[in-house]
Amino acid sequence: MPSMVVVGGFFGDEGKGKIVSYLAVKDNPVIAVRGGVGPNAGHTIEHNNKKYKVRMLPSAFLNPNTRLLVGPGVVVSPDVLLKEISEFEVGDRAFVDYNCGIIEESHKIADSQGRLKESIGSTGTGTGPANADRAMRTLKLAKDVESLALYLDDIPNAVNFALERKEKVLVEGTQGTFLSLWHGTYPYVTSKDVTASGICADVGIGPKNVDDVVVVFKSFVTRVGEGPLRNEITAQQATAKGWQEVGTVTGRQRRAAEFDFELARRAIMLNSASQIAITKLDVVYPECAHMQSFSDLSSPAKYFIKTIEDQLKIPVTLIGTGPEVNDIIDRREE
Ligand code: GTP
Ligand code: IMP
Ligand code: MG
């Protein structure tokens, strides 16, 4: 901090939402700003026995002091956004940029059929076709949508004003490094760059204004939709290990593989990571569930974390030990 960027290191669904919500509560940023593609992302956050699903707003809404912003690079589905604003009761502190692109019905239809759906396995939320229209310069923008009038702001200006005053800004990425349009497993990727540089461009933060980049990895790799997944295990094997997961947005079964050090190394390079967050340690090492102190971890779990640090040469500062926001080991002040 003051500016910390959180991005996914594999194929999305690493648990960025949970990490961002913890950081929002713990570090009390004045702003949390979302970059990334759009409502194709889905974060699940659990806190005080409640489960929240978020697709448009930053996952930082649990902290009532934090303003929730969406950068101009993100395509917005007005119905999804308005529903979240009302559900989380954040109408006084949620804003989207005037220049956010708007997803219309025609984009969702185009995304739910044909090549995108069948061969790429797109989420059907309309983000790809909307970004194609943006490139064609025909996409409607948020400033032209009446229902969003109350929630419009100049987001790059708000973010940079806060940074000038040395206030904390948390930048939330979505998807994961290998779903990036430039750096991923093309054509089995999403419709934009989702590495830290792309996320910063989405919200209007220049390279000199980034203090920390946290790359989030799950303790194993998952992928939803089509495309290569090295060392993929069968659904049966995943179930036997307790690794089976279902997608937040589409309800599809996520494919699974062991933690991939080679991919992780490349993600560290592409994102210029300064810190690593590891989620779901409790799924691979059940004896570590809910732990909040590194010294309490079992020897195999400690060895796994140490191997990651040895191989990737970046400190593992945050470790998820359960789905609840407070199921986390925070080693930043050790
Ligand atoms: P995208 O932006 O769509 O890429 O999603 P995401 O990175 O926010 O992840 P998502 O919420 O889709 O998936 C992560 C899942 O793991 C959620 O169900 C979380 O509740 C859960 N989760 C996150 N961290 C942990 C953890 O440390 N342990 C356990 N058991 N579950 C976790
Ligand atoms: P699209 O982004 O909906 O066009 O989907 C393209 C590919 O990216 C598909 O394989 C999707 O399953 C995947 N994808 C897009 N967003 C996410 C996400 O947030 N988490 C995981 N996979 C995603
Ligand atoms: Mg997700």
Question: DSSP letters along 276-322, please?
Answer: EEEE-HHHHSGGGTT---GGGS-HHHHHHHHHHHHHH-S-EEEEE-S
3-class DSSP string for 116-175 = HHHHHCCCCCCHHHHHHHHHCCCCCEHHHCHHHHHHEECHHHHHHHHHHCCCCEEEECCC
Q: What is the pTM of this model?
A: 0.98
- 99 CA distance to ligand 1 middle (Å): 29
Neighbours of 279 (CB within 10 A): 25
Contact 12 CB / ligand 2 (< 6 Å): yes
Active site residue 183: no
Q: Which residues contact 320 (CB under 8 A, 6 or more apart)?
A: 15, 18, 19, 277, 278, 279, 280, 281, 282, 327, 328
pLDDT of residue 41: 96
pLDDT of residue 252: 87
Contact 122 CB / ligand 2 (< 6 Å): yes
Q: Distance (Å, rounded) from C-alpha 325 to C-alpha 301?
A: 20
Torsion of CA 91, 6, 3, 70, to 10 degrees: -30
pLDDT of residue 251: 84
pLDDT of residue 66: 98
pLDDT of residue 334: 82
With the most atoms of ligand 2 within 8 angstroms of its CB, the residue from 122, 189, 216, 255 to mutate is 122
pLDDT of residue 1: 64
Q: Distance (Å, rounded) from C-alpha 271 to C-alpha 251?
A: 29
- Residue among 272, 261, 179 nearest 220 (CA): 261
Query: Counting ligands in written order, which one lies closest to the CA of residue 246?
Result: 1
**What is the position in ligand 1's atom list of the atom closest to the CA of 14?**
7
Written as tens digits, the pLDDT of the chain (334 aa) is: 699 999 999 999 999 999 999 999 999 999 999 999 999 999 999 999 999 999 999 999 999 999 999 999 999 999 999 999 999 999 999 999 999 999 999 999 999 999 999 999 999 999 999 999 999 999 999 999 999 999 999 999 999 999 999 999 999 999 999 999 999 999 999 999 999 999 999 999 999 999 999 999 999 999 999 999 999 999 999 999 999 998 877 888 999 999 999 999 999 999 999 999 999 999 999 999 999 999 999 999 999 999 999 999 999 999 999 999 999 999 998 8
Neighbours of 306 (CB within 10 A): 11
- 231 CA distance to ligand 2 middle (Å): 20
